[in-house]
Amino acid sequence: MANIEKRGKNRFRLSVVIGYDSNGNAIRERKTVQAKTLKEARVKLAEFELEVLGGNYIRPDTTTLNQFYLDWLEKYAEGSLSPDTLRDYVLIFETRILPKYGHMKLSDIKTMHIVNFINDLNKPGARLDGKPGPLSSSRINNCYKAFNNLLARATEWKLIKENPADPVNTPKVRNKKSEVYTKEEIQTIFEKLEKVDFRWQVLVSLAFVTGAREGELAALEDIHMNFEKGSIYIEQAITEVKGKGVVVKSTKNERQRHISVPEQIMNMIKKLIHIRKQEKFKVGSQWQWEDHLFLFGNEFGKPLRPDSISQWWKRFTTRHKIKHIRFHSLRHTSATHLINEGVHAKIIQERLGHTKLDTTMSIYGHVMEEADQKSATHFDTFFDKKINSQK
Render pLDDT for 288-314 as a digit per residue (tens, 0 to 9): 998 999 999 999 999 999 999 999 999
Question: How far apart, in whole angstroms, are the C-alpha atoms of residue 266 and residue 230?
Answer: 7
Q: How confident is the model at residue 284 (pLDDT cuts 50, 70, 90)?
A: very high
Report, as an integer, the average pLDDT of 355-378: 75
Residue whose C-alpha is closest to residue 172's, from 141, 127, 143, 126? 141
- pLDDT per residue over 303-358, tens digit each? 999 999 999 999 999 999 999 999 999 999 999 999 888 889 899 999 998 888 88
Q: Which amino acid is at 115?
A: V
Q: Which amino acid is at 149?
A: N
pLDDT given for residue 387 in this prediction: 54
What's the length of the chain?
391
- pLDDT per residue over 130-139, tens digit each? 888 888 888 9
Question: How far apart, in whole angstroms, are the C-alpha atoms of residue 135 and residue 145?
Answer: 15
pLDDT given for residue 252 in this prediction: 79
H-only helix segments in 157-302: 183-193, 198-210, 214-218, 263-283
pLDDT given for residue 389 in this prediction: 57
pLDDT given for residue 80 in this prediction: 87
> Number of C-alpha atoms within 13 angstroms, CB side, residue 64?
10
Residue whose C-alpha is closest to residue 226's, from 261, 191, 268, 202? 261
Question: How far apart, in whole angstroms, are the C-alpha atoms of residue 124 and residue 134?
Answer: 5
Q: Which residue ranges form the domains of the chain, and what is each CATH number? A: 2-53 (no CATH), 65-156 (1.10.150), 183-374 (1.10.443.10)
What is the percent of the chain where pLDDT is above 70?
A: 92
Q: Give the chain's end-to-end CA distance (angstroms, integer).
A: 96
What is the percent of the chain where pLDDT is above 90?
A: 57
Question: How far apart, in whole angstroms, are the C-alpha atoms of residue 292 and residue 178?
Answer: 35
pLDDT given for residue 138 in this prediction: 87
Whole-structure pTM over 0.75, yes or no?
Answer: no
